[in-house]
A and B are shown apart, each in its own frame.
Chain A
Amino acid sequence: MADVAQAPKVEEKEPLFSKKNRKLLSDPLDDNNPITVQVLGICSALAVTSQLKPSIVMAICVVFVVSFANLAVSLMRKVMPGRIRMIVQLIVIAALVTIVDIFLKAFAFDVSKELSVFIGLIITNCIVMGRLEAFAMGNKPWAAFLDGIGNGIGYGIILIIVGGLRELFGSGTLLGYTILNVEEGSFLANIGYQHNGIMATPAAAMFIIGVLIWIQRSRNTKLVDIS
């Protein structure tokens, strides 16, 4: 008969860390890394990585900003008029960045001074806007939040690798502790070791990221696009 009750559609509840969601977290670490594959956020990767500590702080800040911006924009995505979405996104990002900035000034003033203008410039970090436009505008809040965390970490890993290498070979320290001692009379000074001046310049970050991309593509051949 026609009036047989149709079985009510059961919304299948997706577990919080389903395979798809786990992929959202792990994908940006390698296959879809924001720096080495999407080539976003290069500017800050060159600018703040002269030392390890600012790189780590920057990485944490970006994880925070991207994930919560993704979450907020994803929540608002249906009520947001398409024409002003950029402005709304910018306001969300700016608010989050201001929170980070004030937080750092209150609890880690030294680092805040060191990073100075770069915290404010997270607003212009292409990764944040890129993920909002590419992902948060079309996905549910939880997925968007995970995507934000994944991309933030993917960005942070590269930043920390570059920052570590540059600090170690550029000034011989890691997080401010001397590793390669070149003072008069030390072993390294006796065999003629010197710090590498290029490592102190942002050009080194460019080379290191280039080599990282090279290593990644030779390991992960599906990223190689033959055009």
Chain B
Amino acid sequence: MQALRNFLDSIEPAFKKNKFLHTVYDGFDTFLFAPKETTQGPGVHIRDGIDLKRTMVLVVLALQACLLFGMWNVGHQHYTALGLYPGLGEALFTKFSYGLLQMLPIIIVTHLVGLGIEFFFAAQKGHPIEEGFLVSAMLIPLIMPPDIPLWILSLAIAFAVIIAKEAFGGTGMNILNIALTARVFIFFAYPTEISGDTCWVAYDYNFLHKLFGMEGGTLQALGMAAVPEGGWISRVVDGFSGATPLGLAAKGGWDAVANATLPNGTAQYSLSNMFFGIIPGSIGETSKPAILIGLGMLIMSGIASWRIMLSMLAGAVVTGLLFNVIGGNAFMAVPFYYHLIIGSFLFAMVYMATDPVTAAQTQTGKLIYGFMIGVIGMIVRVLNPAYPEGWMLAILFLNVFAPTIDYFIYQRNIQRRLKRA
């Protein structure tokens, strides 16, 4: 540790000369070591050791369980679609490697594009590098479908970082959640890549898989000579469908979800499969236990607001109950508790709604904010046939309204105090 510190100190003068290099140096230095700055002079302020970088890293750590499980699940869904290794414990290493190699380009591209833009703007403005993107860069791969084209991903990240963040003044100044802005960009610009029945399973092999001979291995296991015409998607075994529970429920209610089967005859969307996340979907959002691990870490460290999570849960449950009572169509009749484990509800609740920058800031405001997300998300999910999942849109919508909510809370407090005075 001391050696690293000495090394950093020794190279500092060389990096001080150039504006851009110094920005980079400063960014890495404060990332590796907490700055020892203290407040000067007569004052009552104390600097917390948990500064922005330390906070961000905690969230990134909380996401690792989702990431690791997501890697295995990407591989598992891929091989299930091709009719190989249907057992959960089978070919653990192969499945994990497939997922890892599928995820690596996504993660690397996300960091390169996002951090590149951040570094550029930081040097331009003469600011220190703002590390807010580290969390976004971890969240973005987790909310993408596993076979998202990399150029679309780069475009979405560039859009999100430049328009939603830098235009507003950088980290901490953004109105909209960066990760969700990237996703909403793809959702509206390239809808076929992020909605429908075929995008939630990675079917093809990228250059890394080929480099490590994974495609050859699959060909061998299937006893085939060459990659099938029309790509691997044409080779999917009969009876496998990449449709998500949400897509199925929108068409045929809960029966359609419960009746979906895997090629080997077992239920694809049994409760345990959905809870543990052994289903097609965005990379990080399927596994509920992994998300709950992150939830525990975030609540214990006090980084995410339990108020938002609780009220969002309440909002979703109340709306779900209301739909059950009305029961207009098959989707509205889906029991409300199923809504909590299908789709990305839990992931959105733990990592997206609680974003401290874009959420409401007042304690009462947080309750209203979370509750409204729950209500609107359920309305979009169930009542709007064009958008199968509602949390992304609901959270972005409430992001816009968060300052308004806060404003009315402040005004109410001011009025109350004036009355008392």
Cβ 8 A contact of A197, one of B149, B163, B191: B191
> For A214, what are the chain B residues with a Cβ–Cβ distance below 8 Å?
167
Minimal Cβ-Cβ distance residue in B for A207: B163
Q: Are B189 and A210 in contact (CB under 8 A)?
A: no
> For A211, what are the chain B residues with a Cβ–Cβ distance below 8 Å?
163
Q: Are B190 and A197 in contact (CB under 8 A)?
A: yes
Q: Closest Cβ of chain A: how far from B411's Cβ, in Å?
A: 23
From known contacts A192-B149, A192-B151, infer whether A198 and B167 are also in contact, taking CB-CB under 8 Å: no
Minimal Cβ-Cβ distance residue in B for A191: B151
Q: Are A196 and B189 in contact (CB under 8 A)?
A: yes
Q: Are A197 and B189 in contact (CB under 8 A)?
A: yes
- Whether a CB of chain B sits under 8 angstroms from the CB of A199 is yes
CA distance A201 to B188 in the complex (A): 9
> For B397, what are the chain A residues with a Cβ–Cβ distance below 8 Å?
none
CA distance A86 to B151 in the complex (A): 52
Interface residues on B, range: 10 to 19
> For B15, what are the chain A residues with a Cβ–Cβ distance below 8 Å?
none
Minimal Cβ-Cβ distance residue in A for B152: A194
Minimal Cβ-Cβ distance residue in A for B149: A192
CA distance A201 to B167 in the complex (A): 21
CA distance A23 to B225 in the complex (A): 74
Interface of B is mostly: helix
- Whether a CB of chain A sits under 8 angstroms from the CB of B185 is yes
From 130 to 176 in chain B, residues with beta carbon under 8 angstroms from any chain A beta carbon are: 149, 151-152, 163, 167
Q: Are B163 and A196 in contact (CB under 8 A)?
A: no
Q: Are B190 and A210 in contact (CB under 8 A)?
A: no
From 206 to 226 in chain A, residues with beta carbon under 8 angstroms from any chain B beta carbon are: 207, 210-211, 214
Minimal Cβ-Cβ distance residue in B for A213: B167
Minimal Cβ-Cβ distance residue in B for A192: B149
Q: Are B190 and A194 in contact (CB under 8 A)?
A: yes
From known contacts A192-B149, A192-B151, A198-B185, infer whether A210 and B191 are also in contact, taking CB-CB under 8 Å: no
CA distance A74 to B29 in the complex (A): 65
> For B189, what are the chain A residues with a Cβ–Cβ distance below 8 Å?
196-199
> For B192, what are the chain A residues with a Cβ–Cβ distance below 8 Å?
194
CA distance A196 to B189 in the complex (A): 5
CA distance A211 to B167 in the complex (A): 9
> For A192, what are the chain B residues with a Cβ–Cβ distance below 8 Å?
149, 151
Q: Are B190 and A196 in contact (CB under 8 A)?
A: yes
> For B185, what are the chain A residues with a Cβ–Cβ distance below 8 Å?
198
A192, A198, A199 pick with most chain B CB within 10 angstroms? A198
> For B151, what are the chain A residues with a Cβ–Cβ distance below 8 Å?
192-193
Q: Are B163 and A198 in contact (CB under 8 A)?
A: no
> For B188, what are the chain A residues with a Cβ–Cβ distance below 8 Å?
197-198, 201, 203
What sequence of 0s and 1s flags, for each residue 161-199 of chain A, a beta carbon within 8 Å of any chain B beta carbon?
000000000000000000000000000000011101111
> For B163, what are the chain A residues with a Cβ–Cβ distance below 8 Å?
207, 210-211
B189, B190, B193 pick with most chain A CB within 10 angstroms? B189
> For B167, what are the chain A residues with a Cβ–Cβ distance below 8 Å?
210, 214
Minimal Cβ-Cβ distance residue in B for A169: B189
Minimal Cβ-Cβ distance residue in B for A204: B189
Q: Closest Cβ of chain B: how far from A217's Cβ, in Å?
A: 11
CA distance A192 to B190 in the complex (A): 12
> For A197, what are the chain B residues with a Cβ–Cβ distance below 8 Å?
188-191
CA distance A198 to B152 in the complex (A): 13
Q: Closest Cβ of chain A: how far from B138's Cβ, in Å?
A: 25
CA distance A207 to B185 in the complex (A): 12
24 A-B pairs with CB atoms under 8 Å apart are A192-B149, A192-B151, A193-B151, A194-B152, A194-B190, A194-B192, A194-B193, A196-B189, A196-B190, A197-B188, A197-B189, A197-B190, A197-B191, A198-B185, A198-B188, A198-B189, A199-B189, A201-B188, A203-B188, A207-B163, A210-B163, A210-B167, A211-B163, A214-B167
Assuming A194-B190, A197-B189, A201-B188, what are 8 further A-B pairs, CB within 8 angstroms?
A192-B149, A194-B152, A194-B192, A196-B190, A197-B191, A198-B188, A207-B163, A211-B163
